[in-house]
Amino acid sequence: MSKYPVREKEEEEIAEPSDNLYERMNIIIDKGQEPLRLDRFLTARIQNASRTKIQSAIESGRIMVNNKIVQPNYKVRPSDEIIMYSDKEVNNEEIIAEEVPLQIVFEDDDILIIDKPPGLVVHPASGNYSGTVINGIAWRIQQANPEVPAGNLPRFGLVHRIDKNTSGLLVLAKNEKSLTSLAKQFFDQSVKRQYVALVWGDFKDQTGTVKAHIGRHKRFRKIFDAYPDGEQGKEATTHYKVLERFGYVSLIQCELETGRTHQIRVHMQHIGHPLFNDVTYGGDKIVKGTVFTKYKQFVENCFAICPRQALHARTLGFIHPVTRKEVLFESELPEDMKKLIEKWRSYATNKGA
């Protein structure tokens, strides 16, 4: 296993319903199906799909049969299972290239790893059309290919994302083969993702698991909610481990099985432990502790030290799309969270918590 160590209250970004941008669709061939070329079968089956795009998807490995890569002329047979990964690559023609400072952790011909600071949006969206990670990547590609027109720049793939005010590691694919491999790993939940968070309250147990579907809030459509009975949203699982206890707050490690939008934030709120200073999910007020003047001032000072949800994507591991070796990237906690944790540690020590 290779390890690559990392060197060194604004409007909330509302993402799409999943932080994993690539989703999978399965088709089981009917028992009475006559032998038919895969590309022709899918062109007829999928609305608004051209045969050229279907063939390209098959050749790039985004469409497989019985979990194997095949050719467009493969003839489907009864009971075959067709697996298709959606194509949601960024279209460079729609992205404005801008010089955005990016902390590159690792780069080769196939992948790019970025350590994102808090406050930086990953993808252009409503309210954040410029100054994003993707704008910065487009500029970087343009600098490396000055002779190529902007609309013909090499394509790159955003496989997942992290919230605007969450810091930490992000991987991008630099070619279609890498994009397909990473998309499959994210969907199959084989990617290792560990986060560090400071949350309100103390935990009864040292470790635990939260299983609750995540979907749009029934009343406030710009945020998300947990649905433990699975009546809405998508399945989501978060494992947590207590790292330190500071009395009124706890430092925890979270490991994701799934990658739903705001998953850790929603799950922690659901079990009564909202992230410290999470404006969207109720962590920006005193949740635990008696509200007296001295303590209130202490908490407000903590909010000022870390003016965002205290969440950091610390670890990212996966199988390299080309070398097929397992790689692991780690990011140090940013300064605002370091100072916040130290302040609470000192407070807990002095109070005997």
What is the spatial distance between Cα 110 and Cα 176, in angstroms, rounded to a whole number?
9
What's the CATH number of domain 24-85, 3.10.290.10, 3.40.50.300, 3.40.190.170, 3.30.460.10?
3.10.290.10
User: Which CATH fold would you assign to the domain 2-21+89-187?
Assistant: Alpha-Beta Plaits (3.30.70)
Residue pair 196/314 in contact (Cβ under 8 Å)? The answer is yes
What's the CATH number of domain 192-351, 3.30.1490.20, 3.30.70.20, 3.20.190.10, 3.30.2350.10?
3.30.2350.10
Q: Is 163 a catalytic residue?
A: yes
**pLDDT at residue 45, as a whole number:** 79
Query: For the whole model, what pTM was predicted?
Result: 0.78
What is the spatial distance between Cα 140 and Cα 7, in angstroms, rounded to a whole number?
20
Determine the 3-state secondary structure of 301 from DSSP: helix
Through-space distance between the first and last CA atoms of the chain, rounded to whole angstroms: 39
How open is the CA angle 178-96-308, to the nearest 5 degrees? 80
Give the number of C-alpha atoms closer than 13 A to the C-alpha of residue 118, restricted to the C-beta side. 21
**pLDDT at residue 154, as a whole number:** 62
**pLDDT at residue 23, as a whole number:** 58
**pLDDT at residue 276, as a whole number:** 98
* Residues belonging to the chain: 353
Give the number of C-alpha atoms closer than 13 A to the C-alpha of residue 276, restricted to the C-beta side. 31
**pLDDT at residue 4, as a whole number:** 32
Task: Say which residues have a Cβ less than 8 Å from residue 186's Cβ, sequence separation at least 6.
Answer: 20, 22, 159, 160, 259
Residue 186: which H helix or E strand, with range?
A: helix 176-187
Domain locations in the chain as residue ranges: 2-21+89-187, 24-85, 192-351
Closest to 274 in 3D by CA, of 285, 262, 261, 265: 265
Q: Which of 163, 225, 278, 284 is catalytic?
A: 163
Tokens of 269: 């709120």
Question: Along the 353 residues of the chain, how does pLDDT read in single tens digits?
Answer: 333 333 223 334 433 445 555 556 778 888 888 889 998 888 887 766 788 888 888 887 778 888 788 888 999 999 888 888 765 544 444 677 888 999 999 999 999 999 999 999 988 765 666 788 988 988 888 888 777 666 655 667 888 889 999 999 999 998 888 888 898 888 888 999 999 999 999 999 999 999 999 998 888 878 899 999 988 888 999 999 999 999 999 999 999 998 888 999 999 999 999 999 999 999 999 999 887 889 999 999 999 999 999 999 999 999 999 999 999 999 999 999 999 999 999 999 987 54
φ, ψ (nearest 5 deg) of residue 127: 90, -10
**pLDDT at residue 155, as a whole number:** 61
